[in-house]
Chains A and B, each alone.
Chain A
């Protein structure tokens, strides 16, 4: 697991955002979205901080964080690869793609590479069934894949990661 270092400025920025959310009803979800965006995950420490700011029991916040797939307790990699395992993608061989990407990166799904560059996720249907099987890397969508095409796509991002 990669180590998480939360900076003072991140906490401060998050607290400021929470303050504005607090003015409207239902401040928890937007606060959690901001936490995920700013820090990359919502570890227990941050949940406790949000609990204190919003005066909501931390057990409840913990429940919401673990409920939604968008939130994670541990830090994710710089690039998030999602292989769709929805029905259409699955019947068109998405499992083989997921396995291949996993072996390329030497991780299983829901894990992050040691260098913190990639996190692999098996996602539910992302609504692009016409392009099945589908894989996403960050915001980019790759459709009509097969195993070798998926490795190409991955390599593109690997290079990008190296160039960074």
Chain B
């Protein structure tokens, strides 16, 4: 600690802290325009100057470290005079048009000019910046006239995003900020808008359709509804309309957002939102009251229950809150008497829940998102992180910039592969071979962690036999890569001190998905890279609340917190809490429910917030199922492709219109706050479920989602200490066993959840459908940065649709040439299950004879995909199937 005086006050401060930091803590307001705690110090605005020891020269407090005996004056006459002078210099070139500027009210220059009484008529006859606006980006624009050249946007783009799309051009008076080559696309801008969020003036502004004044808005903190990162943000609202989104700095996302979180909010107030219940009569939807809809459902339930009591099923939603998922599975189990409840985790991380559950005892990310920054090795397998979890992707790039080594194993040369230390372009579906090859090399070269294996694991002897003869040559042949690359990857990973594996659908969505996950667990345990800070196994969960939907028992084998329906003790606990007898039989999974509808075994299906008509494999099969089922209830915020098949559609409120919690991919339970009133007659899902359960003769009396969370905590050990008071502060990471438990940053410290980590021998088996003479091309699927899943929410934003307007596929130059496909033209793509049409996009990032198609579009990729299932967990093989091209049908 050092002693110093600030404005005559004696204080103590930690060494190495800056004067600006110390004054901030003391509540002294020093103006800054170019400073941001997260960014390097540019010291260019000169507003934070202070007087030091009465010296002649004023020093910038943002980079001035405290020292013993220092005497600081932050607001002396001399300092004020200097700030005025500097503000006048900045104001000189700036247009005097605050009265019509959208930034007014939140502009820092305006604020300080007011605070320091600057002359509106600039005292300096400065050169005006007259460059035209750059409007190339679809979401925001750059107005160089209003730019004060603080460089925050550039440093944000360089240092935090690691993109580097923005820069200064020219010199002296002519300097301005723009994209490389003045075009956002040329500059590889990812439209995250974090530059806009840090701009202190009106130079970088969202292209807003609404006209509003900042002083007429309110801001409410909530959790982003898109991916599993769980970014914290504030919705800016005026007159019941969400007009802007701003990131929260003191949160998991460290003040970063991606294009979806920042700009794709138009769906909330979109005119196509469902506003009233709909009942289908003679094939046509008619508006109905809630009472009519509820009583129709009740009649149908009673009717079907009488003859076919075991024919009910429900699909819950990873888009809805924890409380709503809890109520949904409670309704399915307690009211309909069935365990036939599942949700789309079946299609994404069922293999993780199965594979990590059996080997480690818990199917979740072992590390926290903030730990990404401290890895020294990052191994990314089957995850296009910068597109699917953009903020985590940025953290990975930051870690790399700090010196972490990066290994990427992917069928496509993704953004993270460009600067990776090793990039292995694997054949889709060859993950198990890759992991086995790496483990073989590690074992043969004695790079394993003997002590970890001895103390923390079991099954090693049996396991090692399965990799002993599996050479890197054999692995390389299956993966279609060089064996040296596998060896180099193995070497780097094994020798890491804080190595993290990040994987996603590329590992899980295979008929061998569970084996892929088990191989990941084997590899991490072999090297002792799990159960430590910044060292672990990290399945990146796709949806905002897919972790929560699994945690809360929207699974056919689990009650909340992974308590088994066939465990008599667990079942007795739920029976006594819910006051009903519960089924001990494991229910049907999503693919089996769809089969069940086709086979007429399922007669009643309730879908809350899912869109299987786009998301599930083999759409023709799904369609057949939805057409066959006797009665279909769909509860959603839009009339989705799936809702079109419904007998009753219940309009739900969006995340902005309700309160609840989401659990993000790092197991953190975070608050979702009501920001605006429900659209039309829509209701929050929890209210609909509560009312419907009451209607069906099982009265529920929750007065708020907080009550539901209290019930969850009482029944779920890993959520035992969770309540709204605690969560509202900064979230809580499970396991959190009781109210004094602080939550858990990383899993398996000292001991695995299952006791000892289990090594499992795994054989490599090729995908169920591989390319052949008739279908010579391998199709792999996934997401893009811009759209989210079935695009129901993202396709309501114009800019997004401009960038990714329609179905397309990526193909190599050679393969396109071989099949006479022209970049930009449309072609038919067929598999054994169906045909879709898509635009050809020739890229140099994909292997020959492999194509990539996103699954966002109706009648798109999932018309083609295969329903072959993983034997352990029923996850379909969405990542690999065989296709061919046709010019015409």
Interface, chain A (partner B; CB < 8 A) = 44, 47, 55-63, 66-68
Contacts and interface: CB of A to CB of B under 8 A. Distances in A.
Contacts of A63: 167-169
B163 A57 contact: yes
Contact of B169 (A55, A56, A57, A62): A62
A62 B157 CA distance: 15
Contacts of A57: 158, 163-165, 167, 180
Given A57-B167, A63-B169, 8 more contacts: A44-B180, A47-B180, A55-B419, A56-B164, A58-B180, A59-B167, A59-B179, A67-B171
A73 B447 CA distance: 52
A58 B187 CA distance: 7
A69 to B, nearest CB: 8
Contacts of B179: 59
B445 interface: no
Interface in B158-190: 158, 163-171, 179-181, 186-188
B475 to A, nearest CB: 30
Contacts of A62: 167, 169, 180-181
A55 B418 CA distance: 10
A66 B170 contact: yes
Contacts of B154: 59
A66 B187 contact: no
A5 to B, nearest CB: 20
Contacts of B171: 66-68
A44 B181 contact: yes
20 contacts: A44-B180, A44-B181, A47-B180, A47-B181, A56-B164, A57-B164, A57-B167, A58-B164, A58-B188, A59-B157, A59-B164, A59-B166, A59-B167, A59-B179, A61-B180, A62-B167, A62-B180, A63-B167, A66-B169, A66-B171
Nearest to B183: A44
B186 to A, nearest CB: 7
A91 to B, nearest CB: 23
A60 B163 CA distance: 11
A12 B187 CA distance: 24
A57 B179 CA distance: 11
Contacts of B164: 56-60
A150 B662 CA distance: 77
A73 to B, nearest CB: 10
B419 A59 contact: no
A54 B781 CA distance: 33
A66 B167 CA distance: 11
Q: List the 6 shortest-distance A-B pairs measured between CB atoms, nearest first.
A: A57-B164, A59-B167, A59-B180, A63-B167, A66-B169, A58-B180
Contacts of B157: 59
Contact of B165 (A59, A66, A68): A59
A55 B397 CA distance: 13
Interface centre among A59, A62, A67 (most CB of B within 10 A): A59
Interface string B683-703: 000000000000000000000
A59 B170 contact: no
A68 B174 CA distance: 12
Given A44-B181, A55-B419, A60 B167 contact: yes
A62 B180 CA distance: 6
A95 B422 CA distance: 59
A66 B165 CA distance: 16
B242 to A, nearest CB: 31
Nearest to B175: A67
Contacts of A61: 180
Contact of B186 (A44, A55, A56, A68): A44
A63 B177 CA distance: 9
Contacts of B158: 57, 60
A59 B187 CA distance: 7
Contacts of A56: 164
A67 B179 CA distance: 15
B413 to A, nearest CB: 13
A108 to B, nearest CB: 17
Interface string B120-142: 00000000000000000000000
A56 B186 CA distance: 15
Contacts of B170: 66-67
Nearest to A58: B180
A61 B168 CA distance: 10
Interface centre among B167, B188, B419 (most CB of A within 10 A): B167
Interface string B572-603: 00000000000000000000000000000000
A44 B168 CA distance: 15
Contacts of B166: 59
Contacts of A58: 164, 180-181, 187-188
Contacts of A66: 169-171
A14 B165 CA distance: 24
Interface in B178-236: 179-181, 186-188
Interface centre among B154, B181, B187 (most CB of A within 10 A): B181
A67 B175 CA distance: 8
Contacts of A60: 158, 164, 167
Contacts of A44: 180-181, 186
A117 B207 CA distance: 46
Interface in B533-586: none
A30 to B, nearest CB: 20
Nearest to B187: A59
Contacts of A68: 171
B400 to A, nearest CB: 11
Interface string B368-399: 00000000000000000000000000000000
A61 B181 CA distance: 10
Nearest to A65: B169
Interface centre among A44, A57, A61 (most CB of B within 10 A): A57
Contacts of A47: 180-181
Contacts of B168: 63, 67
